[in-house]
Amino acid sequence: MNDYDEDNEFQFEPEPDGDEEEIAGGDVDTRMELAKRVLRQVKDNLENVIELLDSGSAEETQKHLTKLVTSKQELADAIEAKGSGKVVEGVFDGQNMVGSDGKTYTVPPNYASKSRLVEGDILKLVIKSDGAFVFKQIGPIERRRETGRLAYDAATGGHVVIGPDGEENWKVLTASVTYYKGEPGDEAIILVPKSTPSTWAALENVVKG
């Protein structure tokens, strides 16, 4: 069921918005200093690991290997931050990302469809200094698979999937329906949160009626 790509990233250029604050590039010198500091830590830890391997101390070797992995992640974060104006994490609500800063960020429907994002997934948004947005799924919620019938909701102008009992229904992105060439009456396979109710579902596939 978890055949989505957790490392999938999507980048797009946002439309100009006069109400949006200009995003600064950040202090590049500070980030470079951080990267150099982490590299020194990696070098020191590598030397310690080599010495410990020669001495045969398994416990101490494991301790320094853990430090090395941590340093590597810190370096990756520093390199990613270099040239980025802002990093925001948030929760996918079925259409948008609700950021930890209280703002709502539009997630491109094609990316949400391709990645089969499910309501409740944790996303990271990197807003680069040139204004480009890069979304990445970093914390997928546990999923379950459901089947139902695809329908068109004239009241909202969107598509829904109606569960077998006719009582449950979930909204699905039009981009997903278009991709699978879905039509009202087709069988729809969807992904929804395993343990929590949701308004939206990720369309996984369509079986023609």
Question: CA 164, CA 161: separation in Å to the nearest integer?
Answer: 10
pLDDT of residue 130: 82
Topology at the third CATH level for domain 9-15+83-139: OB fold (Dihydrolipoamide Acetyltransferase, E2P) (2.40.50)
Question: CA 135, CA 144: separation in Å to the nearest integer?
Answer: 24
Closest-CA residue to 10 (of 141, 89, 76, 108)? 108
- Amino acid (1-letter code) at residue 113: S
pLDDT of residue 172: 98
pLDDT of residue 17: 34
Give me the residues of the chain with pLDDT under 70, please. Answer: 1-38, 41-42, 44-46, 48-49, 52-85
pLDDT of residue 20: 31
pLDDT of residue 129: 80
pLDDT of residue 98: 97
pLDDT of residue 71: 55
pLDDT of residue 24: 34
pLDDT of residue 81: 54
CATH match for 143-207 among 3.20.80.10, 2.40.50.140, 3.30.2090.10, 1.10.3720.10: 2.40.50.140
pLDDT of residue 30: 53
DSSP one-letter string for the chain:
---S-TT-EEEEPPPP-TTSPPPP---HHHHHHHHHHHHHHHHHHHHHHHHHHHHT-HHHHHHHHHHHHHHHHHHHHHHHHTTEEEEEEEEE-SSEEEETTS-EEEPPHHHHHHTT--TT-EEEEEEETTS-EEEEEEEPPPEEEEEEEEEEETTTTEEEEE-TTSS-EEEE-HHHHHHTT--TT-EEEEEEESSS--SB-EEEEEE--
